[in-house]
Structure 1
Amino acid sequence: MPYSVIIRIFLILISVKVCKSGNILILNSWQSKSHALTMLPMAEKLQEIGHSVAMYHNNLAPLGKISDKINSIESVGKISIKPGHTVGEVFWNFQVDPLVYEPPFVFSLEIMKSVINDENLATVLNTSYDVVLVDEIFMSMQAAVALKLKQKFGSRIGIFATTDVNVLFTQYKGLGRNPITETNFYTSHFDMYDVNVERFWWRLKSFITHLKEIYIHYVNDYHMKGAGELLEISSSFDEIFGNSLFTLMEFPYNFGYPVTKSSNLFHIMHFCPGAYRISPQMIQNFQSPNFCPRII
């Protein structure tokens, strides 16, 4: 997977921020292959340029060692809830309802309750990291852990948008849009070619979707606060984004058009010119009968 010029700028930024060689933690819920294959190359690249990189992931089945280059730490939880299956509503075609963002937050909170006394989690919480990167789609547990590390050790926080920049865009900028006259971010792709603001049904559907955006913000914020209480810390969207120095975005430049432009938003990839083989270790992990990925 090729890296853009901006990822190089980001790596330089990290080097300056953490004084040449830093201790970096990446928090991830390995319930989606896209999350694994996106974050791992960046973690290995950071390791190659001299940083000490650890990746803490929590899942429903053990993955074991995921890379020879980085320190992999995992907690395996046992919960009855499963991540939402929304494959039919394709993210890449924008056929997504705001309500599909709740299952990852619920899953993250429930698995945190399951592993709260886990030794590996305790090790992470008692280690001083210079930079902590949070995967924004499973944010309940990860935001709480990142904020706890900031409280204890002064760790710097960054957000890694692996699935959608739903929080950055819809919660913080969506309220400033007019849901009646503008094409909604969640509008199905076939509706985007047939926008008619004079049509009552189209305006009503857009308005209802906007109300869902507002509703799901508070629902997921509730799950995040629940995770924070487990670590005796205040956690919420405002807390995690207010304490974040930057947001990384994995989408190609041309695909990132719904995202607000800011000085702390970094694109880290672009369209791949060709295919690359997955590492044998990663293939082995995916083929293991104990590995249960979920596409969110």
Structure 2
Amino acid sequence: MPDLGPFIVTGLALGAVYALSGVGLVVLHRTTGVVNFAYGATGAIGALVAWSILESGGAEPVAWAAAVAAAVALSVLYGVTVAARLAQRDPAVQAAASLGFTLVLLGLAILLWRDEPRTFALPTDQWSRDVLGVTVVATKPLALGLAVAVTAVVAVLLRRTRGGLALRAMADDRELSGLLGVPVVRLGAVAWALSGALAGVSGLLVADLIRLDAGTLTFLVVPGIAAAIVGHLSSLPWTLAGGLGIGLVEALATPFDSLTSYRGAAPFAVAIGFLLWHQRRRGAATRIGVA
């Protein structure tokens, strides 16, 4: 039996990033009704911008800020110029449009930086501590703590503030919200900016924890969407749990030769398993209610 401790630590760290991605997707869906497939690609551009600044001798805080700013700018640009014009279209059309934007960003990343894996490290990689016999690099608990904190803060903002109420009303009926005085254009830009900021942070963490290349970061959206599905594209706590679960399943499959080749299926396995469990639970509740 292999020592699973290091894989649990890694799984929780990766799961935290998946959860952050899921939260960014859920926030955007709850406020605009859009499933943004370009989430990972915007994070990829941000991480590559940070890498370029560091390679040219720029300061680390400047590089991190630039990464988030680039992701925010791309997210808002798409949200204001394209997504807003498709607000009344079928959700499938909106999702397909964001998939097209994903391909544009992926092509741009390959054109400007080429499709080559690069190393990227955050300063927190230099700090570590032994916990129950496992050396834990500070970046990993940082990712977990950030995911929990962001989930809690965003949940409070959406549920307890007037701005959150207005954002949720926009998702239900954009035109009616506008007629009632809700500044739909400005609040829509805020929602896209928040999602872009989370994409930028997620991109930096994945570049550090896994590797920095456009393809890997672009497909960060897959486990993010799976985590969001666990949360039914609405529940932030369940999205957090889904992201952590996906990360753990993916990491714990690594040391087993019979499973390691299938670890990429972890997002689908966790999402499908949760949906089946939830459906069975609803069925049982319905039978009890009928009885």
| TM-score normalised per structure 2 | 0.25
Higher strand share: 1
| TM-score normalised per structure 1 | 0.24
Higher helix share: 2
Higher relative contact order (CA 8 A, sep 6+): 2
